[in-house]
Chain A
Amino acid sequence: MKKIKFASVVFILLIMSGCGLLTLHPIFSPDDLVFKTELLGKWKAEGSVLQIEPATSISANEIPVPLRSYNKRFYVLRQMESDGTEKRRSLAFLVKIGPYYFIDLYPIETQESAAVDVFFKENQYKLHQVTRIAIASGKLYWQDFQDNYVEELIKNKQVRIKYTRINEIYSEEDDTNLLITAGTKELQAFLSKYGSKEEAFNAVNKSNTYIKISGL
């Protein structure tokens, strides 16, 4: 967290840096997409519910034009609080890299965000969030990357991956705010190498182990 006060006032924007692995580019090309029907349905973990449906269930207008013809090969994901309040909606793309499955989440509108003025939203850009998943014994394990794991690798010169520094209006450039700008192939190579490293991911616990509570 930035030390100066302006940052504490520019509140919501800046606390988002630690959210697993965020990338500018997707981790897949359409030919890489995998569709597993066992993912479909409603899943519950401690504190959250995931509802996973095929992307064919939403309007084509919500899907970028180049991806519309592939809508049978990816999902739409609703992340909800345990009380059912919708937290996020995303397009969800499943990819197998090595022996591991990864989900690439790309945000789409919620009922709440739809009320936000277009001009405001057009001054924001969207990122992909990359998560490792596994389904075993009827459970869905949803493991985000550790916050700032990749940024630390970059700072320590342990990985070569394309990125850019994000500057703030009010402070000197530092290494705490990086945007991963690697392309799809480079991201896949990264996941191939680091996808098996358990220390890269949040440990399995009650809040990221989901049990299916209903089918579609």
Chain B
Amino acid sequence: MRASLYSLLFISLILSSCLLSVNPLITYKNIERFPSALGSWTDNEGTRFTIEMFFGSSTEMEGLTAKNNKVQSKEKRLAGMAPEERKTMQAAQLISYTSNNLKHEMILSFSRINNDWFAQLTPLRVYKPGNQFYDKQNGIVRDTSTKDYPMEKSGYSFYRVESTTNELKFIPVNDDFLLDLITKGWAAIPYEKDELFETSLITASPEILVKFFEKYGNDSRLFDKSSTLVLKRNLK
């Protein structure tokens, strides 16, 4: 427990400065497969992360089996999807870790922009394993340990990715540099700032975000290396 709390604190410290976007940078239009991220990983403080394909994961399967539907083969399910969904399903990944006995799951997506790899994270759900139940009215799996918080929405955070076979680095965007670009009018990125509640949000469309990363994605000033999340592959 102590280690878990410590790692929780560590994660919060190293990745606390993300300026969120309400829109994704990576969509079905530019999502790409990144198989080298798949596997079991540990960060410097001992937190274990699992990265798997979202399609076929237990999380995706829960949604299907809970409905008491006969689950079709992956191939059949893919064939029945809209092209946008199919492309997303074939590339989107699920990253999960446990903290405070709660399993945290986020959708992880990758894309290459000007030959550099970028990652995008967005929260999916938090739950206490074993507490899920099927909500017939909404056709979804819910969890007794997490409530609906309609006033809290999932945003997107973006990272530059560096990887070797056994190491994966997520380098977050440097908020100070990005805000500087925006407030000085050097980058036309729509964003909202609420002084009273001290919140800032990027509201640019995915198309604008892609153009921005095409222009600044290889500028080292845009990324905060000191806050890099370094994952080491767990070797069997």
Contacts and interface: CB of A to CB of B under 8 A. Distances in A.
A82 interface: no
Contacts of B88: 6, 169-170
Contact of A106 (B15, B64, B197, B203): B197
Given A6-B88, A124-B123, A67 B102 contact: no
Contacts of B92: 169-170
The majority secondary structure among interface residues of chain A is mixed
B217 interface: no
Contacts of A117: 8, 11-12, 97, 99-100, 102, 104, 126
A123 B20 contact: yes
A65 B126 contact: no
Interface stretch (A17-25, A37-45, A94-102, A198-206): A17-25
A127 B199 CA distance: 10
B153 A124 contact: yes
A8 interface: yes
A128 B16 CA distance: 22
A170 B140 contact: no
Contacts of B99: 117
B81 A116 contact: no
Nearest to A129: B151
A112 interface: yes
B139 interface: yes
Interface residues of A, number: 56
Interface string B130-167: 00000000111111011111111111110000000000
B26 A120 contact: no
Interface string A20-60: 00101110011000000000000000000000000000000
By Cβ-Cβ distance, the 9 closest A-B pairs, closest first, are A118-B12, A19-B150, A11-B140, A170-B88, A117-B99, A9-B63, A119-B11, A115-B100, A16-B150
Interface of A: 4-6, 8-13, 15-16, 19, 22, 24-26, 29-30, 64-67, 87-88, 90, 105-107, 110, 112-113, 115-120, 122-129, 164-172, 179, 181
Interface of B: 8-9, 11-12, 15-16, 18, 20, 22-24, 26-28, 31, 54, 59-60, 63-64, 77, 81-82, 84-85, 88-89, 92, 97, 99-102, 104, 106-107, 109, 121-126, 138-143, 145-157, 190, 192, 194-199, 201, 203, 205-206
